[in-house]
Amino acid sequence: MPSGETTSPASTYSPPGIDRDRDAVIAGLTLPWSSGVVEGHINRIKMLKRQMFGRAGIHLLRKRVLHYS
């Protein structure tokens, strides 16, 4: 390294485990498709479950989930 230049910690730091999942990280950043739609549906179902916790049984939850599908 030439004198006067230093490396910043941000340029050399990588989060723990990122090397282990390197292929998945590269694919996630470079491929044209994503699982965003699926993640949105899962997020909505989890929200419905949290809202209904202790209020009703599986039958009402099923109606609410299928209502929006």
Q: What is the pLDDT of residue 1?
A: 52
Successive 10-residue mean pLDDT values, the chain, 69 residues: 57 74 85 85 86 74 72
pLDDT at 26: 86
Residue 49 near residue 61 (C-beta atoms within 8 A): yes
Give the pLDDT of residue 10: 58
Dihedral sign of CA atoms 27, 28, 33, 38 in order: positive
SS3 12: helix
